[in-house]
Structure 1
């Protein structure tokens, strides 16, 4: 039997159903729709963070008289005596550590070159391979700042940072460009400032990347005039950034870091793996300051016997036996055998590749070696003037997340070593 409800009662019933259904509808939409960007006026109340990387910049470059802008930035805020890179002290692993707070062993970007049989049809990663670099599967073992920020409603703009060429976890920064190593330092700054002109209050997090100093360090060595000239060139670009911000009345928290330092190398300091182990017993996945080595089928015992005995200017381990202090050796992408050269020495698989070596600079050595020390400078309304004791680069991530007001994911870092540099109001 159908009971006819009076019109007034029907309206009451419809209102009640509507009230009950709205929370369900909103909840359902929240589950299926991406979170909307934080309104401009909400972001405007918190200074944006500009995370700047100067690849290969050692802290002692600040003492060479060629970096007035960086020195002024440090004088107005905080700097560290040194920041310790994670192991291995190379570019992609440490850039990903800085924006995830995870050691390479945990975030999966364990080298500039690596292999992963699970990633087909191209199971080999090289930083020069644009397709591999843009394949999110190499990066998806972690989630960088810009992905988490975008998910939590804070828009981001990244100008060249390892990982930004890929849609990690299916998310890209609101503004980004594919990496272009030929783009001059000044043009990079102008591009970033141009993004600010379009939406100055919409972005809570920016990245900026310079590779001039790293290239000069590799090509000529860290103690050369060319390295100083590169440092001066990037310093001028930093000055351009500061002037551009001032002209736009943009107050930002600027964090300048490097991924690692640089050590001098010489053709006279070489280690040949084919003189340590039979040439038919191994293949090298990586070589240089360290060696990632795979035994040929049936040759594991032969290779182990050759590598694991004491070596001159090099130490070798099975991956599971790499000393705990390196916090490295458990990720599936790390080869079964791993060798590390003494600072200043280089590992090559054979004579052909050893002959191509030239004097210059290299990194990737023990991450606690002074030559591998990285730069840390921070200035802006969140920072007070201080000189920090050396700390690990995993600690940068929780600080950055606090500054942009985004909840960090689980990580290997701690904000505690950086608290002396922070004003209480700066992280609110």
Structure 2
């Protein structure tokens, strides 16, 4: 144990080891790495196999937890961390653009939707671009046609500038992208996203790099929270973080780079599932009247023609469901940061939260009861297992600032803006000045 601690402390010291050039001093860099579904409770495990994260924690600052926004879903929370506002303002409540709601037909979510249709407020990368700073993203969300300089999309586009450069230089082979979205495992995809970040950092030195890795999320959806498979996943992710840090060091940028390691939500193990549209059907509510979109720990119900009587009938139907925990009132939805239909046509009329060990959606025919363990998120942002991680280390962070009390993830965007010298006046989040130099 003493040898391990010595190794971690030694690894923590080089974050300011490279002598900067005058040009480097003028332009700080921020690298944000999001480890999807990495719950704050995991980080408190003293034997979790994450030496790189532990090193960053020791050299810089880390939060007891970071609170996500509602819904505790990937795209809304990543968007909160780059806009500094809740979905009530930024507009995004699913992993894409919700469509088909209030039509009497099925509801879907369009993955390939323009950023302009999804995000209703400026982002920190918009502000950076406006100031002439170079930006890069790998597997970030809601970024189609976002104007980011170097992109390695979740579903890679071979014609993109970054990928064309990587292929031309031999850093990426076209066959590595073949069937990228349907054949390779998530660790395979995450490794390529990391390689994209490494290439962009070494060749273009972005002022802002946003990297999103999904291995743990996929593993926990398949097997549940805190399993051996999950521990293997976090060890793999820790290695990816180390590779990015090494790339920054090799690029000569370590002295001016701040690393922010975050997540978007945690996960909870579940053994029971309910189809929310079956709940509506069993209550005699026709698809032409209302339809539901399942989001794991929550479900959204859309009324074709909203009226008080139908709303009460829907609430009564879900109140009788064994999956239901709470059904927030209109005022509670507003207080929880949800957009409302008057201002956002993707906002649901009714929201229902699931109990622990239950989820909405993912129902398998003839499944045993209880079902084999899986994982879900989307539950209220106050639940302990939904809390996120935050680690900060590097050029702009006070050395050995240590553990910080919990704060909302809206503060991430404002902190990035503060480090890069950008405006954050339109954000609800605040810079974490207590950890900044």
Which TM bucket (shorter chain)? 0.7 to 0.9
Number of the residue aligned with 1:391 = 407
Residues 142, 300 of structure 1: alpha-carbon distance in 2 compared, 3 angstrom cutoff: same
Say yes or no: does 1:277 pair with 2:287.
Answer: no
Q: Alpha-carbon deviation of 1:125? A: 5.9
Matches within 5 A, 1:3-402: 44-62=25-43, 63=45, 64-112=47-95, 115=98, 126=109, 129-132=110-113, 135-164=114-143, 166-168=144-146, 172-180=147-155, 182=184, 183-200=188-205, 203-251=206-254, 252-267=257-272, 273-274=279-280, 277-280=283-286, 282-295=290-303, 301-308=309-316, 310-311=319-320, 313-317=324-328, 320-330=330-340, 331-332=343-344, 333-348=346-361, 359-384=373-398, 385=400, 386-402=402-418
Deviation at 1:371, TM superposition (A): 0.4
Q: In 2 relative to 1, CA 228–355 (structure 1 residues): closer, same or farther, beyond 3 Å?
A: same
Distance in 1 (CA, whole Å) between partners of 2:385 and 2:197 is: 31
Give, in whole Å, the separation in 1 of the partners of 2:268 and 2:378. 9
* Distance (whole Å) between structure 1 residues aligned to residue 126 and residue 232 of structure 2: 35
User: What's the TM-score, normalizing by structure 1?
Assistant: 0.77
**Kept after mapping to 2: 8 A contact 1:47/1:204:** yes
SS in 2 for 1:60: helix
Structure 2 gap ranges (5+): 1-20, 156-180
Q: CA deviation at 1:408?
A: 2.5
Aligned length: 369
**Does structure 1 conserve the Cα–Cα contact (< 8 Å) formed by 2:139 and 2:153?**
yes
Moved more, 305-314 or 339-348: 305-314
Deviation at 1:407, TM superposition (A): 1.7
The answer to whether the Cα contact below 8 Å between 1:308 and 1:316 also exists between their aligned partners in 2 is: no
Retained in 1: the 8 A contact 2:96–2:112? Answer: no
State the 1:304 CA deviation.
1.9
Q: CA 1:176/1:96 → structure 2, altered by over 3 Å: closer, same or farther?
A: same
Cα root mean square deviation, aligned: 3.2
Residues 256-295 of structure 1: per-residue CA shift (max 9 Å, x gap): 1000011111137887624763242531133532111123
Using the TM superposition, give the Cα deviation of residue 387 of structure 1 relative to its aligned residue in structure 2, in angstroms. Answer: 0.9
CA shift at 1:323, angstroms? Answer: 4.3
Query: Distance between the aligned counterparts of 1:396 and 1:374, measured in 2?
Result: 12
Flag the 1:140–1:210 CA change in 2: closer, same or farther, 3 A: closer
Shift, 1:152, TM fit? 1.6
- Contact kept? 2:98, 2:108, Cα under 8 Å: yes
Tell me which structure has the larger Cα radius of gyration: 1
SS in 1 for 2:382: coil
Change (3 A) 1:71 1:355: same
Report the Cα offset of residue 414 of structure 1: 1.4
* Residues 273, 350 of structure 1: 8 Å contact kept: no
